[in-house]
Structure formats: C-alpha cells, structure tokens
C-alpha cells in the first residue's frame, strides 16, 4: 500500500471512530431518556469499548505493516510476520497480526537511524558541492574583474593617445 492509501486508511479509521462516538452518544442519551436501568447503560459502554478496541487493533495492524514496508524499502532488517515470531501478536479478528510495542519501537528506531545515516551522507556531499560552487563563483568574479579592469585600461590608453 502506498503512502496515499495508508493516509486514506488512517483517515477512514478516524472517521469510523467519530461515527462510533456519535452513535453511542445518541444511544446513551436515548436510553437515559427512556429510563433504562444502569446495566443497559453499562452494556452500551462495553459495546462502545469493543468497537473502539477493534478500530485500534485495525490501526495498529495498518501501522505495523506500513512500518515493515518502510523497513523493506530502506533495506533494514525486520521481524518476519507470523504468529510464531515473538515480535508479532495475533489480533482478535481472524488473521490480523501486529507488531508488539517493543518490536515496533525497535524497528522504528532502526528506520530512523538508517534515514539519519543516509541524510548525513547527502549533507556531507552537499557541503562539498557548496564549497566547489563557491570557489567557482569567486573564480568567475575574479576573471570578470580582470576583464573589466583591462578594458578600462585599454579605453584610457586610447583617450590619452589622442592628446599627445
């Protein structure tokens, strides 16, 4: 899944969460108006909690696989997905797995380190390129100044030659 699809999926999950919030707020309000007993309100709160837990699990699964894709792209070693791996945890829905918090943190840290190393290499080269460009600029300015000075000398010699 590309970056756009990933962002779209995260937004969809956020939209689902807002939808659940509105739905259960309305259900609680209706139950309170109808004078439902306390255990009905508690069941509604439990149902809402289960819905939110399901969405959070989907989000963690999505983020875990996005992180693995990024690690694969950067050639960073990552734990292979599977139930037998200690870095992965099975979700409550059929077939969903996600990284454990420790594995997520370690993989995220290795990706950040790899990005930093690549960026540092480019920064070193850009400093060298900047220095060379600066020297070229000084050289061009020097040549331009000499050319201007010579043409001014030649012009002055021509004016004074007519006066002799």
pLDDT at 157: 67
The pLDDT assigned to 159 comes to: 58
pLDDT at 164 over 50: no
Helix axes of 38-73 and 101-161: crossing angle, nearest 10 degrees:
50
Chain position carrying tokens 């699809």: 5
The predicted pLDDT at position 19 comes to: 96
Question: Residue 121 pLDDT > 90, yes or no?
Answer: no
28 CB burial (10 A radius; 0-12, 13-18, 19+): middle
User: Nearest 5°: phi and psi at 97?
Assistant: -135, 155
Three-state DSSP class for residue 100: coil
pLDDT digits (tens, 9 = 90+) for 19-65: 999 999 999 999 999 998 988 899 999 999 999 999 999 999 999 99
Burial of 78 (0-12, 13-18, 19+ CB in 10 A): buried
Domain ranges of the chain: 3-117
The Cα–Cα gap between 58 and 42 comes to: 24
pLDDT at 160 over 60: no
Q: What is the mean pLDDT of the chain?
A: 87
Kindly provide the b/e burial profile for residues 110-136, where b requires at least 16 CB atoms within 10 angstroms of the residue's own CB: ebeebeeeeeeeeeeeeeeeeeeeeee
Both tokens of 67, joined, read 């992180």
In degrees, to the nearest 5, what angle opens at C-alpha 94 toward C-alphas 76 and 73? 15
Q: Supply 16's token pair.
A: 């689902």
């Amino acid at each position: 899944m590309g970056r756009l699809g990933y962002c779209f999926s995260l937004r969809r999950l956020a939209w689902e969460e807002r939808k659940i919030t509105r739905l259960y707020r309305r259900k609680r309000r209706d139950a309170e108006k109808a004078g439902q007993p306390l255990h009905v309100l508690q069941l509604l709160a439990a149902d809402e909690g289960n819905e939110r837990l399901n969405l959070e699990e989907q989000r963690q699964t999505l983020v875990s696989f996005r992180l693995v894709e990024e690690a694969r792209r950067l050639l960073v070693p990552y734990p292979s997905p599977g139930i037998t791996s200690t870095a992965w945890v099975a979700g409550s829905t059929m077939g969903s797995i996600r990284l454990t918090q420790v594995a997520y943190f370690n993989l995220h840290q290795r990706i950040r380190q790899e990005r930093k190393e690549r960026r540092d290499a480019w920064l070193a080269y850009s400093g060298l390129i900047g220095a060379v460009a600066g020297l070229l600029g000084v050289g061009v300015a020097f040549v331009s100044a000499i050319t201007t000075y010579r043409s001014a000398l030649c012009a002055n010699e021509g004016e004074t030659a007519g006066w002799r």
